[in-house]
Chain A
Amino acid sequence: MSRQREDFREILRLVRPGSRVLDVGCGEGALLDLLASEKQVDGRGLEISPEGVAACLARGLAVVQGDADRDLADFPTRGFDYAILSQTLQTVREPRTVLTALLRIAERAVVSVPNFGHWRVRLALLTSGRMPMTGSLPEPWWSTPNIHLCTLRDFTLLCDELGVRIEAASALADGRPARPIDPARPVENWRAEQALFLLSRPGSAPAATLSPPAKTSQDLFG
């Protein structure tokens, strides 16, 4: 890979060597390849496009064609240590169901989403009165695959509601190294362009955390 994606680097950091990983929406398998070569993970993928799956096969990866909304049900309970959903949750029809499914399949989920609460998004909407288009959200409203956008605060509230524990979170921005954050801090909801979460179900043994565990979100001007 010529230029490693920043979220990939962060995921590599979070994933335990030798673990079993399911990459949901694995594309052509770049992340799985990286995880296999650098972390010796036993990786599997789920990918919607037949061309993507074919490319993964050529890399020697085990990938199933399917989509997150429909086909996660086919994966056995606790078959994996990690389920990864990178920049995809906002594109699925049922984000709550998908999130729940990820934590049924795996002990931990690594989920990254664009933050619709980022200051640039807010400013764009405020000043232009139009749907924001930014680096993380490059498409116009009529062609964007992002049908369920959320803010950092929306996401943490959903985790609270689903009883999902946020073990670690970091802010991602294009071209800059990941920054560990406390996602409950309102300022992060302004600052983080994208956020990446390490999630677990209550009752799972805690993993080595990279930032302090999230407290219950406070209701400020977040």
Chain B
Amino acid sequence: MGRGGPTKVMSRDLGALQTGADGVGLMRFGPDQPLRLESGARLDGLEIAYRTFGELNATRSNAVLICHALTGDQHVAGEHPRTGKPGWWTQVVGPGRPLDPAKHFIICSNVVGGCSGSTGPSSINPATGKAYGLTFPVITIPDMVRAQAMLVEALGVETLFAVVGGSMGGMQVLQWAADYPERLFSAICIAAAPRHSAQNIAFHEVGRQAIMADPDWRGGDYAAQGVRPEKGLAVARMAAHITYLSEAALQRKFGRELQRDGLSWGFDADFQVESYLRHQGSAFVDRFDANSYLYITRALDYFDLAHSHGGVLAGAFAKARQVRFCALSFTSDWLYPTIESRSIVRALNAAGCRASFVEIETDKGHDAFFLDEPVLRTALTGFLQSGAQARGLT
């Protein structure tokens, strides 16, 4: 890399994981490498916060990129450096898991527009010396993927053994297949959709309106004014959280159970489900930025993979025939229901791709992909192991 190329501005081993080296890093791209956005705008001085587990092998053939969901971050496994909590996907990533640092070089980065270290609306705009706020350009799923591709390249990885993600991460996986098929050996898309539906957009709009209706949002300039739109962001999270669970799961978990004996005859959290949602909301504001929430939900709403391929989804996968695909969905997911994954699989088949698909029986809703679903784990393990064999990793 020449002058002004990407630089690791921070990289350290945590040594927290039992196997392999665990790295926390921040990649800064120089002025010669702006991120050119789909909107036509560009981001200079792009920084991407990432984390790696395991080591790149001598043939550089064992790299796996994990794409996180809407409110996820790069801390997919190991310990979260700030909260000390375990990573968000320890069911899938870790020693003896389908993605194992002993076998794979696992990369997970915070999306552009995020608030966990990558350039986003809460970052300082180098041109003004102030936080971007709403002057941050609108970003899209393809923009997130372009930034990931820049990171992966900067880490010395030419082709990924697998790109894996659930929910918004799954959409990034599809975008990878559309934009960088030659850099992929396999792709795993979990509980995702090829576009945002009217209902998906509608729920996001509720969340955004809640944030913008908070007087502390201040037109997005809250950081400069020393406040935070916590109430609005919490309500946004509460509404969204309902879409991540199934009705059956909510009913089983809470039913009409009360917090205390008897009703309050007022508007306290009488029901356990209310208290649960309030907790979800208030815990969320501690770790997430309101403007990032606006930008990332916008990116999701703008996502329509077929649209950029003449309205034909199969067109997006036309160059991905050599990629091994695996799509997974959950029976009780009503956010991105099975029918969405089926439309992906239909398009993959129509494009002549190598597609597999499993619908996992569960009543846990969209969030089942974070949980320990045995069929999910067997399917991932089988798919990755047979892929590893075909790629000569084992």
Q: State the A residues within 8 Å of B (CB).
A: 44, 50-51, 53-66, 71, 74-76, 79
Contact indicator A74/B349 (Cβ below 8 Å): yes
Residue positions of B touching A, CB distance < 8 A: 324-326, 342, 345-346, 349-350, 352, 354-361, 375, 378-379, 381-383, 385-387, 389-390
Contacts of B326 in A (CB 8 A): 57
B357 touches A66 (CB 8 A): yes
Please determine whether A74 and B386 come into contact, CB atoms closer than 8 angstroms.
no
**Which chain B residues border A62 with CB–CB below 8 Å?**
324-325, 354-356
Q: Is the beta-carbon distance between A58 and B357 smaller than 8 angstroms?
A: no
B382/A65 in contact, CB under 8 A: no
| CB proximity of A187 to chain B, nearest CB, Å | 42
- Provided the pairs A50-B375, A74-B345 are in contact, do residues A58 and B386 lie with their beta carbons within 8 angstroms? yes
- A53's contact among B324, B346, B358, B387, by CB below 8 Å, is which? B358
Chain B residue nearest in CB terms to A73? B346
Contact A51 B375 (CB under 8 A): yes
**Closest A residue by C-beta to B381:** A58
A58-B386, A60-B387 in contact; A53/B352 too (CB < 8 A)? Answer: no
Which one of B349, B350, B357 lies within 8 Å of A65 (CB-CB)?
Answer: B357
Whether the pair B382, A57 counts as a contact (CB closer than 8 A) is yes
Report the minimum CB–CB distance from B198 to chain A (whole Å). Answer: 23
Partner of B379, one of A57, A71, A79: A57
9 nearest interchain CB pairs? A58-B382, A60-B386, A57-B382, A74-B346, A64-B357, A57-B383, A62-B354, A54-B379, A54-B378
Assess whether A57 is in contact with B345, with CB atoms less than 8 Å apart: no
Residues of A close to B385: CB separation below 8 A: 58
Please indicate the chain A residues that have their CB under 8 angstroms from the CB of B381 in the complex: 58
User: For B375, what are the chain A residues with a Cβ–Cβ distance below 8 Å?
Assistant: 50-51, 54
Closest to A52 in B: B358
User: A22 — nearest CB in chain B belongs to which residue?
Assistant: B349
Q: List 5 A-B contacts (CB under 8 A).
A: A44-B349, A58-B386, A62-B324, A64-B349, A74-B349
Smallest CB–CB gap between B393 and chain A, Å?
13
Minimal Cβ-Cβ distance residue in A for B387: A60
CB of B172, distance to nearest CB on chain A (Å)? 22
Smallest CB gap from B326: residue in A? A57
- Residue contact A53 to B386, C-beta cutoff 8 Å: no
Most chain A beta-carbon contacts within 10 A, residue among B325, B379, B387:
B379
Residues on A with C-beta less than 8 A from B357 are: 53, 63-66
The answer to whether residues A54 and B358 also contact, given A60-B386, A60-B390 and a CB cut-off of 8 A, is: yes
In angstroms, Cα B346 to Cα A58, docked, is: 22
**Can you name 7 extra interface pairs (CB under 8 A) apart from A60-B386, A62-B325?**
A50-B359, A57-B356, A57-B382, A58-B382, A59-B382, A66-B357, A79-B349
- Which chain A residue lies CB-closest to B389? A60
Cβ contact within 8 Å between B382 and A54: yes
Residues in chain B near residue A63, CB distance under 8 A: 356-357
Inter-subunit contact A50/B356 (CB<8 Å): no
For the complex formed, measure the closest distance between the CB of A46 and the CB atoms of chain B, giving whole angstroms: 9
Q: Report Cα–Cα, A156/B358, bound state, in Å.
A: 35
> What is the minimal beta-carbon distance from A67 to any residue of chain B, in angstroms?
11
What residues of chain B lie closer than 8 Å to A54, measured between beta carbons?
358, 375, 378-379, 382
Q: For the complex, what is the distance from the CA of A62 to the CA of B382, rounded to whole Å?
A: 11
Known contacts: A50-B359, A65-B357, A65-B359. The answer to whether A58 contacts B349 by CB under 8 A is no
